[in-house]
Amino acid sequence: MISFKEAVKRPRYMFFISGIVAVLCVMISKFVFNEYVGLFTTFLITMTLIPITRVISIKETEKSIEGIREGFFQRYREVIIAYGAIFSGIVFFLSLLYVLLPDGTANMIFYEQVREISRIRGNFVFGGLFTTIFLNNAIVLTLSFLFSLLFGFGAIFIVSWNATVLAAAIGMLSKALGGAKTLPLAILTFLPHGSLEILAYLIGGLAGGILSVAITKRNISGVKFYRVLSDTFMLYVYSVLLLVVAGLIESIAIILS
């Protein structure tokens, strides 16, 4: 539906395409896998995104290997924006779907996500705020990195799952506040920390995917492989820093509320 060049040059296309695809995945899961719609929706979204994310990993690995003469942020800026557009589309469209559906249907479709939200809230109540939040997010980040390293595209499942959980949380809050008209406010409530967390998982998954592709290329010299390792390390460090900021924002928000 969209090429690699279009994905990185026109992220708004990725926003709408990924959102529409996510809604279609929900519909397919509802009719085919009626008992575990939320979980199978995540699987279908992952399968849909594997081709484009695999191409992105390969292209970014080639940049790293060849030592493209541009700044680190400049080198990865477009692909990170493209990733952000993909998962922003998933979150927005599924949040809107949750709000528009009747309560019973929405809770049935997003049952696994709602249960995960309850578990996360329980951890925040019984644990130290920032420490609990950061450690939970750090575990997810590490899984994103390792899944991409081992499977090439594994982080997409982790990030897709978290995107659906975030969408359910936004939808629940919007319904509590008064319905679809309050969706922008609900999104703004989760945007400061939720967007940073998703971005961190994306960057961590990108780091693992780049290293995975480099390892499979057996003819990479020591210098070129060192460039890949260097980029992988820097991407992971930046993703951890994003989680620190996200954890601080979320902790402050919980305390003030």
- Rounded Cα gap, residues 137 and 47, in angstroms: 24
pLDDT recorded at residue 241: 94
Q: Which helix (H) or strand (E) holds 232?
A: helix 222-256
Contacts of 100 (CB under 8 A, 6+ apart): 180
Structure token digits, residue 195 = 């967007």
Residue 25 has pLDDT above 50, yes or no: yes
Distance CA(229)–CA(126), nearest Å, equals 39
Cα–Cα dist 245/134, whole Å: 9
Cα separation, 257 vs 254, whole angstroms: 5
pLDDT given for residue 180 in this prediction: 82
Query: Which tokens hold the place of 176?
Result: 């509590």
**Range of weakest confidence among 26-30, 101-105, 177-181, 217-221:** 217-221
Which residue from 160, 173, 156, 165 is spatially nearest to 112, judged by alpha carbons? 165
- The total number of structural domains that make up the chain: 1
User: Does residue 142 or residue 151 have the better pLDDT?
Assistant: 142
Q: What is the pLDDT of residues 78-110, one digit of tens each?
A: 778 888 888 899 999 999 999 999 988 888 888
Give the length of the chain: 257
**Separation in Å, CA 239 to CA 89, 111, 213:** 21, 29, 20
Query: Residue 56: which domain range?
Result: 4-256
Q: What's the average model confidence in pLDDT over 236-247?
A: 92
48 vs 43: CA distance, rounded Å: 9
Cα separation values, 27 from 21, 31, 40, 96, 143, Å: 10, 6, 11, 14, 28
User: 10 Å Cβ neighbour count for 121?
Assistant: 12
Read off the pLDDT band of 221 (50, 70, 90): low
Q: What amino acid is encoded at 151 in this protein?
A: F
- Looking at per-residue pLDDT, the higher value among 218 and 129 belongs to 129
The better pLDDT of the pair 126, 82 is held by 82
Tokens standing for 198?
């998703």
Cβ atoms 245, 252 nearer than 8 A: no
Give pLDDT, residue 72. Answer: 65
Task: Considering only residues 133 and 6, tell me which one the structure prediction assigns the higher pLDDT.
Answer: 133
Dihedral (Cα; 173, 175, 179, 181), 10-degree rounding: 10
pLDDT given for residue 243 in this prediction: 92
Residue with the larger pLDDT of the pair 162 and 121: 162
Using CA atoms, how far residue 254 sits from 95, 114, 193, 201, in Å, is 21, 19, 11, 22
Q: Is the pLDDT of residue 254 over 50?
A: yes
Q: Is the pLDDT of residue 245 over 70?
A: yes
Q: Check whether 71 has a pLDDT greater than 90.
A: no
- pLDDT, greater one: 159 or 152: 159
Name the 3-class secondary structure at 70: coil
Give me 234's structure tokens: 């820097």
Does the pLDDT value for residue 18 go beyond 70? yes
DSSP 33: S
Chain center to CA of 6: 20
Q: At what angle do helices 111-126 and 154-177 cross, to 10 degrees?
A: 80
